[in-house]
Chain A
Amino acid sequence: MTKFIVILLSAVFINNYVLSRFLGICPFLGVSKKLDSATGMSLAVIFVMLMATAATWPIQKFLLDPNGLGYLQTIVFILVIAALVQLVEIVLKRYIPSLHKSLGVYLPLITTNCAVLGVTILNIDAGYSFAEAMVNSLGSGLGFFLAMVMFSGVRSTIEGSDIPESFKGLPVTLTAAAITSLSFLGFSGVIENLFPM
């Protein structure tokens, strides 16, 4: 049990996908302007990350590895994720229209989000079991959510302030992201002290 908690907490706080691993920077910078779009995007990412891990982990372990096809990982994973996102969209549209309404816009954009491909590959690289991989994906998704929501708050403050001409737009956003990411540095070492292994 402790192991799962450690994986979850380190994925959320210490190895935060956006702020310390730099995965999924595009949606982080692009969709974080408003709280509701940031929430919608992050929920869609959590959802797709879990689905993608559930699909790619068995493929790697039961299909690619036993047949010596490990080198096809990149191609197979990106195709599985792309197909999965399409499938999820169709299923949601047909059966849960309300959820499709809130997540639908973001789904096609996630296909090539590097956080999703990243989490599936990292799960394999880290040698996690299926349950551990799912927990890690959930943690990564939650970490993405946390970063997005925090940052959308930061950005709404920037919006109204007086910024030097050349810093307008992306530069000030990135500087703010630097400070947000600095706050996450404070978490390093917390897990080791909480759960001495």
Chain B
Amino acid sequence: MNKTISNFLKGIIKENPVLVLVLGTCPTLATSTSVINALGMGAAATVVLLCSNVVISALRKVIPDKVRIPCYIVLIAGFVTMVQMLVKAYAPDLDKSLGIYLPLIVVNCIILGRAEMFANKNNVFDSAIDALGMGVGFTLALFCMATIREVFGNGTFAGIEIPVLIDNHISILTMAPGGFFVFGLLIAAVNKFGKYKPKKKDFGCEGCPNSEGCSKTSCEKDGKEAAVND
């Protein structure tokens, strides 16, 4: 029981995919312009992550080791297509505002990373819990960023106007530079107040399915370490 809880919690705090492992940066920056978008993206990614983790963990003894990455990609792409169709049918507004970033969940590092790091080594139940933890962690990080960007950048929270801020909003925060800036500040805050020391390496390699092959080449030596997915 304890193991289950810690499995779930590690994704939220200790190994938060966005703020600690620094995976999935593209959707984080792109969809955190408003709270609704962030929650939609978080939910979509969580569903895909949960389905892919469960199926991959159930098939972990069937899939040959050599072709596992292509297999995972096909499975993930299948689930992404399903989620895409569901969102299109039941939440067309969300589909419009997420746009290109919805199909791009396929190449989200977090999903392939969890499949490679966790689901192919653990049983179905643990993998599902891990996926839920990671998904919630991803959604929470997106929610934090989106709250900062929408409240200060647009003067609204999930579309509701905030009295003073609506007249004094800093619109640059909802634009591209604001995304980089707020993300940088959040990670700096995690470094400062978290009890985890700032990482020596400035970019996470551990979650990447390519890291094994990558470190065999010159990756570690000259900073090519993160030339990976997302």
Interface residues of A (CB under 8 A from B): 19-27, 29-31, 33-34, 37, 41, 71-75, 78-79, 82, 105-106, 108-109, 111-114, 117-118, 121-122, 125, 165-175, 177-179, 181-182, 184-185
Contact = CB atoms under 8 A, between A and B. Distances in A.
A167 B188 contact: yes
B228 A71 contact: no
Given A25-B29, A114-B107, A171 B191 contact: yes
A28 to B, nearest CB: 9
24 contacts: A22-B30, A22-B176, A23-B100, A25-B26, A26-B26, A26-B227, A29-B202, A41-B227, A71-B84, A74-B103, A78-B77, A109-B210, A112-B229, A117-B107, A166-B189, A166-B198, A168-B191, A170-B22, A170-B187, A170-B199, A173-B184, A173-B202, A178-B177, A178-B181
A18 B129 CA distance: 33
Given A178-B177, A185-B175, A29 B25 contact: yes
Interface centre among A125, A167, A185 (most CB of B within 10 A): A167
Interface centre among A24, A25, A173 (most CB of B within 10 A): A25
Interface in B194-226: 198-203, 210, 213-214, 217-218, 222-226
A184 B176 CA distance: 10
B185 A74 contact: no
Contact of B30 (A21, A37, A166): A21
A118 B104 CA distance: 7
Interface string B60-79: 00000000001001100110
Contacts of A179: 177
The 9 closest A-B pairs by CB, nearest first: A30-B226, A174-B184, A169-B202, A178-B180, A112-B229, A171-B188, A166-B192, A26-B230, A178-B181
Interface centre among A31, A74, A111 (most CB of B within 10 A): A74
Nearest to A74: B103
B103 to A, nearest CB: 5
Interface in B29-87: 29-30, 70, 73-74, 77-78, 80-81, 84-85
